[in-house]
Amino acid sequence: MPFYCFSLEDLLSSPIFEKPSSTGRTWELREPDEEKVSLFMRQLDLPEILARLLSFRASSVEEARTFLSPTLKKSLPDPSVLQGMDEAVARVEKAILEKEEILIWGDYDVDGITSTVLLLRFFSSIGISASFHVPTRAQGYGATQDTLHSVWKDEAPPRLVLMVDCGVTAHETLEELRSRGADVVVLDHHAPEDTIPQAHAIVDPYLPGNPEELKQCCAAGVVFLFLVGLNRALRSSFPSYQEPDLRLLLDLVALGTVCDVMPLVELNRAYVAQGLKVINGRTNLGIRELARVACLRAEISVHHIAFSFGPRLNAPGRLDNAEPSVRLLLSQTGQEAASWAVELDRLNRERQELEVRVVEKAQQLAQAQRERPFLVISGDNWAAGVLGIVAGRLREQFYKPCCVISFDDEGNGRGSGRSVPGMDLGSIIHQAKAEGLVVNGGGHALAAGFSLQRARLEDLESFLQKSAQEKDFRSPPLVIEGTLSLSGATIGMVHLLKQLGPFGAGNPTPQFLFQNVSIEHTQRVGKDHLACVLTQGDGVRVFSVLFRSTGTVLERVLSAKRGSYDIVGVLNANLWRGKFAPQIHITDVMER
């Protein structure tokens, strides 16, 4: 196997550590525990490269074995370990027994959509009819009173409301629903405020007393646990109960987990690994047609979920109403699914056009703030649905927490923020709400949303700058897990590395160093990508690509084709004219 890894002494004296890369980043090569590597090779019968990479991901043989074969049998906890789960299950079981009206109230992002569809598909499989509501972008995130009043007005709400991916901070809405005779069961995963709203049952991993590791679950993951508990209760209560196969719902859990950028470790890893099997079985007509419009013919991976499925499923909710995404995933015929998939693809192109316009303006404003610890970018009448994407782009470009806000003509603002490790943005927005700086808001450590009035923008900006001023947001080093020659960049190696997947947040794809390579050819492809052909002394040629590179320093360095380079990148396979070939996704470059 043409794999080799330098010793620490060799690397410290190597030119790659004497200067930053072309992008200004430092490179850091991880050193494995050689005893652990040898143990994994012997006990698990692994080749050396796989044992080395696995040593960074597992601390014991048993943990390594589970990592290589993630299953729900090993990873799924008893649902009852979550506070409120038994009460939630009992209330829904009662509603099923007494044939009560059930409403599922979701959210407009992929996690909210898939959580909603999980419940709808489960209820349908056992012959129970339920309705659903996902808010429009104008109504705002989650369980707002605007939504409550616009949907039910003076009518009585359904007897049982299941809130998914929202509700844990919706004090006023839950109180009004309760006063109007509805029982509310919340299945959420967002951080609560200091006080918990009143509901029949609230299931949220962030509530006190819950296992710490379950905080990594998205709402779809929490809903699946709920369905395991409900399925168990129904099986016990009804001897003739025809039990549905919950494993067939894991495609939805995988979509929610990946698109909500949850770490792919422990339970989430099992969710996604098993969910990908369902996705690639093409049993869900909506997912099958979504793959078709995205021109995905090969095996679906986490990358495809994040960058092909996610943007299309998110597009309707970003522009107006997420209902088309729900309808797609509920499709009963190929024709119905194809129609919704085409619509989602069209809406995604519309979203991309809006995004480009906002990104250009926001980047200009961000340049003027580049010395500030927290970027706060605002504009008038920007498309609210792309604010989070733009904030994410700016966060990546400047490696600082960033909020992007759009105000309408009446001074009402909607904001979306993205943060970096070390700054809990969800908690900061909760503090801002407590101080009256925002009207509403919440989120996770790395992402949050909020609403505010234009008159409070300056105060909010001062608050955010102060919260970040003592922190040092340095771009982390680029972690390299090994060194490969180009002759080692083979399809066989790609298949070997695949055993460490699924890759994503919490389990990044291994980055390899390719030393002393030359650039034989460069060419712009697509809208803003650069394709290259890399060569080394032995004459091997490998195709590579640099995404979103137009106008960047990396494009200028590689296009110059001066001498030789050290290149860091990810090895994968590219399908071209029916054949797979190795391909390197370039991450960073250093001129020798």
Task: Examine the domain organization and report whether 381 and 502 are in the same domain.
Answer: no
pLDDT at 509: 95
pLDDT at 422: 84
| Inter-CA distances, 381 with 339, 395, 414, 447, Å | 31, 22, 10, 22
CB of 420 within 8 A of CB of 473? yes
CB of 103 within 8 A of CB of 303? no
- Domain membership flag for residue 150: yes
Task: Examine the domain organization and report whether 497 and 398 are in the same domain.
Answer: no
* Helix pair angle (110-125, 310-319), 10° resolution: 100
**In sequence order, what are the residues at sequence separation of 6 or more whose Cβ sits closer than 8 angstroms to the Cβ of residue 498?**
none
DSSP string of 35-85, one letter each residue: HHHHHHHHHHT--HHHHHHHHTT-SSHHHHHHHHS--HHHHPPPGGGSTTH
Q: Which residues pair with 416 in a beta bridge?
A: 404, 449
Last residue of a domain, one of 468, 492, 523: 468
Task: Examine the domain organization and report whether 451 and 486 are in the same domain.
Answer: no
- Domain membership flag for residue 265: yes
Task: Examine the domain organization and report whether 211 and 245 are in the same domain.
Answer: yes
Residues in the chain with pLDDT values less than 50: 1-16
CB of 77 within 8 A of CB of 267? yes
- Domain membership flag for residue 101: yes
Task: Examine the domain organization and report whether 263 and 176 are in the same domain.
Answer: yes
Task: Examine the domain organization and report whether 386 and 485 are in the same domain.
Answer: no
Whole-angstrom distance, CA of residue 268 vs CA of residue 394: 28
CB of 166 within 8 A of CB of 141? yes
Task: Examine the domain organization and report whether 152 and 87 are in the same domain.
Answer: yes
Q: Looking at residue 507, which CATH number applies to its domain?
A: 2.40.50.110
Task: Examine the domain organization and report whether 142 and 271 are in the same domain.
Answer: yes
Whole-angstrom distance, CA of residue 320 vs CA of residue 139: 9
Beta strand 412-418 with 402-407 is: antiparallel
Beta strand 27-29 with 201-203 is: unpaired
CB of 161 within 8 A of CB of 155? no
- Domain membership flag for residue 103: yes
Q: Looking at residue 436, which CATH number applies to its domain?
A: 3.10.310.30
- Domain membership flag for residue 48: no
Task: Examine the domain organization and report whether 249 and 201 are in the same domain.
Answer: yes
Last residue of a domain, one of 418, 437, 468: 468
The residue segments making up the domain with residue 513 are: 3-30+481-591
Q: Give yes or no for a cis peptide into 502 (omega within 30° of 0).
A: yes
pLDDT at 527: 76
Residue 491: count other Cβ atoms within 10 Å of its Cβ: 15
Residue 206: both structure tokens together: 């962030």
Last residue of a domain, one of 446, 468, 490: 468
Residue 153: count other Cβ atoms within 10 Å of its Cβ: 7
- Domain membership flag for residue 296: no
- The number of folded domains in the chain is 3
Question: Which residue is it, tokens 């200091």?
Answer: 194
Whole-angstrom distance, CA of residue 201 vs CA of residue 180: 17
44: left (phi over 0), alpha (psi -120 to 50) or beta: alpha
pLDDT at 4: 38
| Inter-CA distances, 545 with 239, 321, 555, Å | 58, 35, 11
Q: Looking at residue 170, which CATH number applies to its domain?
A: 3.90.1640.30
Task: Examine the domain organization and report whether 432 and 543 are in the same domain.
Answer: no
CB of 96 within 8 A of CB of 128? yes
- Domain membership flag for residue 537: yes
Whole-model pTM: value is 0.89
Task: Examine the domain organization and report whether 405 and 378 are in the same domain.
Answer: yes
- Domain membership flag for residue 307: no
Residue 110: both structure tokens together: 């992929």
Task: Examine the domain organization and report whether 503 and 385 are in the same domain.
Answer: no
Residue 151: both structure tokens together: 């949907």
End-to-end CA distance of the chain: 26
**In sequence order, what are the residues at sequence separation of 6 or more whose Cβ sits closer than 8 angstroms to the Cβ of residue 497?**
50, 53, 509, 510, 571
pLDDT at 2: 37
pLDDT at 3: 40
